[in-house]
Amino acid sequence: MVDILLTECITFVFSIKISNLVDVMATVVFSLSKRVDDLDNAEILIRFCASRENIFRAKSGIFVPTNRWSKKNTITIPKIETPERKKLLETEKKLNELKTFILERFEVSDKKSLTKDWLVNTIDGFHNPIIEEVETTNFFKTFDRYIEKKQFSQGRQRAVDVVYRMLKRYELHLQKSNKHFTLTFEYFTSDTLFEFEKYLRNEQEYLKGDKDIIKNIAKSRIPKLRGSNTISTKLRMLRSFFIWCKSEGIIETSPFEKYKVISEVYGTPYYITLEERNKIYNHDFSKHKELSIQRDIFIFQCHIGCRVGDLMKLKKQNLINGAIEYIASKTKEGNPITVRVPLNATALEIINRYAEHIGDSLLPFSSEIEYNLAIKKIFTMAKITRYVTRINPLTREPEQVPINTIASSHLARRTFIGNLYKQIKDPNLIGSMSGHVEGSKAFSRYRDIDDDIKSEVVNLLL
């Protein structure tokens, strides 16, 4: 009978974003137990759903008078100020806090090991928190432990390491005015997050005047000016760290609870046409052997649409029955997506051209930096220099720039997605080959509604 009531209750949906940027929907459903105590109180029951395979039920440990539980599976709060109203408001607050706690723990949990015991233990952890005593000097030790436990993908690890070094440099920067300063959890409040954001925006100028900081932090360099999108991305990574700390009982509250990270702003994606792609492929680079190789890799990426990190990892074993198969790196920490892209004649031609090269890699890849520099040279030599409109990463204002000056590996990915969408206009089909999850908000940015598509729509009126 309880199960029947559970299935009929209204679902509260909370959307949470996992650190590897995969969107996962988790639902928490409340209902009231049929068992009533002597005071006519009943326990609130929980049904937690993370996926079709992960649905668990447990007791909340929170009780409410049966006459104050509505058909909408919420607590009915009387309008008149009474001791009962005050107690019911406290119960409602506690129930909402439990709901948030479950979803936060889910966000940082290992999705492969979800069980009913996980839910039961999570609820018990909410009611009986174990708060570690945080020493003022253990901030970076905790960050190290966070990195160790999370076991990020290689690309994500590099990005998190960048944030780690930013924090180290920020600590040294503050020590210039207070030599005894140490970065601690107590230091981070919503107000000081604004100061850290300001530091990230101006770090280039700070470090120009104090190059000793660069020398003291391994792998550091004077950064370029950062745009708002870059800063937002780094702050989201820091927020994930604080969410993990709270879920582990290391801190009671996150400074991000009262600090809003600015949303990223993206313009309409620009990409090259099939004619421009073919012009690059047919251009004579025989006098520039290395550019010829990088050109072939760029054209190959235009034909399979993968991210550059996945491209560089492709091995000869990834070629299976005339198609490339790989697990998209941005999804493997959450719900791993196996991407399979059939190869056309041009892609197969490029693979066969380098079939005898030494090593297991599918193609003779260089470093990502060298690859991106080569792409700009390739565009310039092939005379693909038309102007495109983009959002300036620093000012967030639209500007027109020659495409060869901003061409990069990601342009190959956009070329694959944009040109396919013009032909078949099916985002889910294209997303299955580009490594986007179904319904991905990120994918929508690639759907360039160009003049050809607009003309087709207008012609429907004839």
pLDDT single digits (tens) 385-415: 999 988 887 777 888 999 999 999 999 988 9
pLDDT of residue 135: 46
Taking the C-alpha atoms of residue 447 and residue 291, their distance in angstroms, rounded to an integer, is 30
The pTM for the full model equals: 0.56
Average per-residue pLDDT in the chain? 83
pLDDT of residue 17: 37
| CA–CA dist 61, 57 (Å, integer) | 13
CA distance linking residue 311 with residue 304, whole number of Å = 9
- Residue (of 380, 378, 356, 354) closest to 365 by Cα position: 354
pLDDT of residue 418: 83
Beta-carbon contacts of residue 322 (< 8 Å; ≥ 6 apart)? 342, 343, 348
For 3-36, what is each residue's pLDDT tens digit? Answer: 433 343 433 333 333 333 334 468 889 999 999 8
Q: How far apart are CA 157 and CA 352, in angstroms?
A: 33
CA separation for the pair 137, 416 (Å, rounded): 49
Per-residue pLDDT of 172-183, as tens digits, reads 989 888 888 889
With a cut of 80, say whether residue 451 has pLDDT above it. Answer: no
Please give the Cα distance from 10 to 73 (Å, whole number).
Answer: 7
Asked whether the predicted pLDDT for residue 317 surpasses 90, the reply is yes
What counts of helices (H) and strands (E) characterise the chain?
18, 9
Question: What is residue 426's predicted lDDT score, i.e. its pLDDT?
Answer: 63
Per-residue pLDDT, 323: 92
**Distance of alpha carbon 6 from alpha carbon 131, whole angstroms:** 33
The pLDDT, as a whole number, for residue 384 is 96
Highest mean pLDDT among 220-224, 350-354, 447-451: 350-354
**Lowest-pLDDT range of 5-14, 185-194, 248-257:** 5-14
Q: Is the pLDDT reported for residue 444 higher than 80?
A: no
Distance, first Cα to last Cα, the chain? 59
Q: Check if CATH label 1.10.460.10 holds for domain 274-459.
A: no
The model's pLDDT over 257-280, given as tens digits with 9 standing for 90+, comes to 989 888 777 777 889 999 999 999
- Cα→Cα distances 143→5, 139, 160, 192, Å: 43, 6, 10, 18
Is 246 in contact with 254 (CB distance < 8 Å)? Answer: yes
Q: Bigger pLDDT: 261 or 436?
A: 261
| Residue with the larger pLDDT of the pair 21 and 73 | 73
Q: Mean of the pLDDT values across residues 51-67?
A: 89
Q: Where are the alpha helices (DSSP H) in 248-393?
A: 274-282, 289-304, 308-313, 345-353, 368-381
d(CA 68, CA 136) in angstroms, rounded, equals 45
Sequence spans of domains, the chain: 2-127, 139-258, 274-459
What mean pLDDT is predicted for residues 320-343?
79
What percent of the chain clears pLDDT 90, i.e. is strictly above it? 40
For 1, counting Cβ atoms within 10 Å of its Cβ (0-12 exposed, 13-18 middle, 19+ buried), the class is: exposed
Greater confidence (131 vs 421) lies with 421
